[in-house]
Amino acid sequence: MRNLFSILLILLFSYPVYGIKNKISTNWKFFLGENREAINTQYDDSHWRTLNLPHDWAFENGYSIDGAQTARGGYASGGIGWYRQYFDVDIDSMKDKSMFIDFDGVYMNSEVWVNGKYLGKFPYGYMSFSYNMTSCLKDGRNVIAVRVDNSKEPSARWYHGCGIYGNVYLRTESRAYFVPSSIFIRTPKADGQVMIDGDIKLDKYAGDYKLNVFITDASGKTVADAESFTGLKEGNNKFKLQTKVNNPLLWDTENPNLYTLNIKIENKDGKTMDEESIRFGFRTLEWKAESGFYLNGKQTKLRGVCEHLEGGPVGAMSTEQLLRWKLTLIKNMGCNSVRTAHNPQIPEFYDICDEMGILVFDEMFDGWKQKALHDYGAHSFAEHWEKDLRSFIRRDRNHPSVFLYSVGNETKGEVAKDLVRVCHEEDPTRLVTSGDANASEMDIHGANGNSERVKFLETYKPDGRAFLGTENPHTWQVRGYYRTKTWYRDEYPNKNQDPMFVPDLTDKEIFGYDWTSPNKRRNPKQIFNSSYDNATVRVTARKIIEMLRDKDWFSGSYRWTGFDYLGEAGFVHGGWPFRAFMGGALDLAGFEKDLYYLYQSEWADIDMVHILPHWTHPKMVLGTEIPVWVYTSGDEVEFFLNGKSLGKKAKGKKWNEIQCEWMMPWTPGTIEAVAYRNGKEIARTQQRTSYEPVKFDISVENDNLKADKENISIITVKEVDRNGTLYPYGENRVYAKINGGARMLSFESGNPVDTETNFNATSKCCFFGLNRMFIQSTDDDASKPVSVYVGAICGDKKLMTSDRVSISVERVSLRGNDGNSDFKIYYTTDGSTPTENSNLYAGAFKVNLGATVKAAVYDGDVKVLDMQERFAEDEGLYWGTPGEPVCNFKGDQAEYAELEYCTKDIQVKGYEATGYVVPEPNKGSITWDFENTSGKDEAVLHIRFHQNGKNTFSDMDLYMSGNKVNTVRFNNDGNNPKWDVVKVPVKIVPGTNYIKLKSVTDTVPFIDEIQVIIDK
């Protein structure tokens, strides 16, 4: 393939060319680790791995408790990586031409060499950039070397990818070419007038040139043209043109009509020097303080989600296809907008939003100074922000989907005015906002969590600017998990958070299953959150839906978030084994939570009805009243229990009446909801009580996997009972073996505490009955079939509902047909390795608690899968007593903090959780990160410690986010040392606070935990 690529480049450079842009995504060489010799042209990289782009080595490496990105980044790795690529050039063909290399996205601190010559460094990890490498080229083989430095972590407040996660292009230009991203297309009144300006770079041959413009519609028909003669001098030349399209079709979220501007430069001999094709649209944007946002003169409520680039199942390795899949799920939820929190996305994202009619709230920066220990704000913002911001605006400003810029998120600084000024200089057609960052300096008043407070919602008056809920609501849900008691992140009442009162659904908690037992949690934060809309910081999702609908000034709501995402696993969710943030309407695998259907019922123009919770409750006492909610886009619902109608209920308008609700005495069977609009049935759905799981229900998105080294098929696996009903507690391990040219890009169930690696995984446990595989093509031979063996040993892991076990195996074809399968399955129940003399599977069989079932699956005479499953009391979900304590302690444990020169111990009893930490004298340190969401700047640090020895003391210096603020003395209690607490007043800042204790004496205390107490 390398030789073919080289031949193609030689052919291209042998003829007159202009504006040629070739994607180089295949056959890159990669090495993880430092290797400065790699810049040398003759370096032998034959032992390096060969891979295709996009690439994210942190996602490939998976998770570990000591992962460099820490809880902030979902315990993923960092490090340094090197890439190399080859291309051949006929240097004679390069006369009067220039060659560039364009990167869509590299995280972060990338450096580039061509033939050993240094091109430069680009610190930011979330923006496109280019280098002119003409002077570095030589005849024959040329070598690109890229160094990516993520050695200092955490470098973001959430998971970030590592490596070249965007496309890379080689671009060849003539001596007269359009400066990339300089062409700006404006349609100010959407009446057909098109104003075009840009820059032309002329390297030599000053003189007269002609600009030709023609505009085509979606069918390719030319609908406008123009030409202009201009004299160009060497260097940069600005130009302006104008034309008109008669009766243009407008771009909006329902009809995203697009046009294409084609513009080219010709010299005096009529030779084309450069040509660009840029899609754009006609639409008007308007903001009013009293009534919000207007698109094409029509008041438009912004129904949005915030979305990290790395949200969802594949880290930063998103292809165009996966981006389209994600955005389709978001749009089907009823959204018409996405906030790119808190950084730009790759270019394909904006193209897809243009096509799909999704408004983009385009955000550039998280902070303007340090927010993570080694982030862009800490080391590069001050020097690079203006250049990077200008590049960002120029890159994205022709997209009709981009309607608003954001320059920061929950940060502050005098630079705010300059950020807004630069945005206006580069694009005067769009306004600027932020998420609670110097709000008074912004064109639009954007507010994150503050916009959820009761007082704000009740008393807000427009201040002359339009208002936007840039990050609301903040609620948490885990798919398939339920609690009837309301949960607040910061308790209720809380005068700083000012939350709304959300009534409990029942007097006593009725659900008792959980991901683990109280004695196995590391801190009280390590909980799952309820899929009823009753787990929140300040407000329910339903309340914000009501406010957005009914308040004219409330122009938009951007839910945090669309998809669950890796990282931020500590400050809300308590850290390892939690790897993800669970604020999404969709989980990491893209499975819809109940919340998804709430939004769909209010925001989407479809006929739908949805019931929650499921109707399988094996430990629940018969007759226990269960709150059953129904979401619908209709106006009333009729409810049935085991075929008997319980009557109709009308859907209300108030936040707590958006769902139709019944209190149903628990009895096994079937519940059904029928939705009506204006008296006519529009949709129906049901939930049935499930028996133990016995088989799969498998579905495939894209069952014709292309042979292009990029295409992806998505296989969804549901664990179902004998009737085909989902078993909602299913946790059996699904095994997979791929045949043919494909790889497992991600095996993801959505489980936030599953720390097994996704990439190249051969098995994964189901999470609440569901699992999903993302299988990517790795070959370019369409004649070769691709299929996947999928198998599992199915049953209730605790044998709670049944002691019967079944084995399910299928072969799923993704390309072509590689024949029929003839499965034979041999199994054992005593943990021994099955052979062809073992039991031959013929149907379900019984096992006893403690049994380990192993199975060998043959297709004909070839073994294709080895599987095993254990059935025991300590397997699977924890089934406890409804309402029991989460755990018996409240602090953040020292043994799970960031430790330097420390050991963990358990010798002195009385510690909380799993142990305590002993720092080395004079150098040991313990660092916690604490997220301050209270708005307060004063707190008291409670440090639980033990000081051994008679009448001894120890000192430790206390640092807050790198600044020494105190020296804390730890004294024992005379002749009776015991666990004690020292209290230290501290100043805290909004957002992340790094709290560090460092030993400075020969004696040391044993440190158990800390609590940060804020006056509420």
In which element (H, E) is residue 713 found? strand 712-720
DSSP assignment of 413-426, as one string? -TTHHHHHHHHHHH
Instruction: Let me know: does 406 contact 362? Beta carbons within 8 Å.
Output: yes
Choose among 554, 129, 104, 666: nearest CA to 300: 554
CB neighbours of 469 closer than 8 A, spacing ≥ 6?
A: 447, 451, 544, 548, 554, 556, 557, 558
C-alpha to C-alpha distances, 756 to 60, 406, 764, 790, 915, nearest whole angstrom: 11, 36, 8, 18, 25
Choose among 923, 943, 947: nearest CA to 1000: 923
Instruction: Let me know: does 775 contact 784? Beta carbons within 8 Å.
Output: no
Choose among 354, 368, 658: nearest CA to 532: 658
- Percent helix, strand, coil in the chain, to 5, is 10, 40, 45
d(CA 721, CA 719): 7
Its sign, for the CA torsion 905, 908, 914, 919, is: negative
Q: Phi, psi (5° rounding) for residue 88?
A: -105, 145
How large is the angle between the packed helices 347-356 and 320-332, nearest 10 degrees? Answer: 40
Active-site residue 410, yes or no? yes
DSSP β-ladder status, 670-677 and 636-641: antiparallel
How is residue 500 annotated by DSSP?
P
Strand order in the sheet with 644-650: 644-650, 636-641, 670-677, 680-688
Helix and strand element counts for the chain (H, E): 10, 68
Instruction: Let me know: does 543 contact 655? Beta carbons within 8 Å.
Output: yes
Choose among 787, 778, 771, 663: nearest CA to 727: 771
d(CA 55, CA 148): 12
d(CA 804, CA 247): 69
Q: Please state whether 686 falls in left (phi above 0), alpha (psi between -120 and 50) or beta.
A: beta
How is residue 91 annotated by DSSP?
G
d(CA 549, CA 543): 10
**244-254 core/surface letters (b: 16 or more CB in 10 A; e: else):** ebeebbbbbbe
d(CA 311, CA 338): 13
Exactly one of 410, 441, 546, 869 is catalytic; name it.
410
Task: Find where tokens 């393939």 sit.
Answer: 1
DSSP β-ladder status, 513-514 and 878-879: antiparallel
d(CA 737, CA 831): 22
In which element (H, E) is residue 76 found? none
3-state secondary structure of 549: helix
Instruction: Let me know: does 755 contact 579? Beta carbons within 8 Å.
Output: yes
CB neighbours of 492 closer than 8 A, spacing ≥ 6?
A: 486, 499, 501
DSSP β-ladder status, 28-32 and 117-122: unpaired
Residue type, 655: W
Tokens of 61: 């490496």
| Residues forming the active site | 410
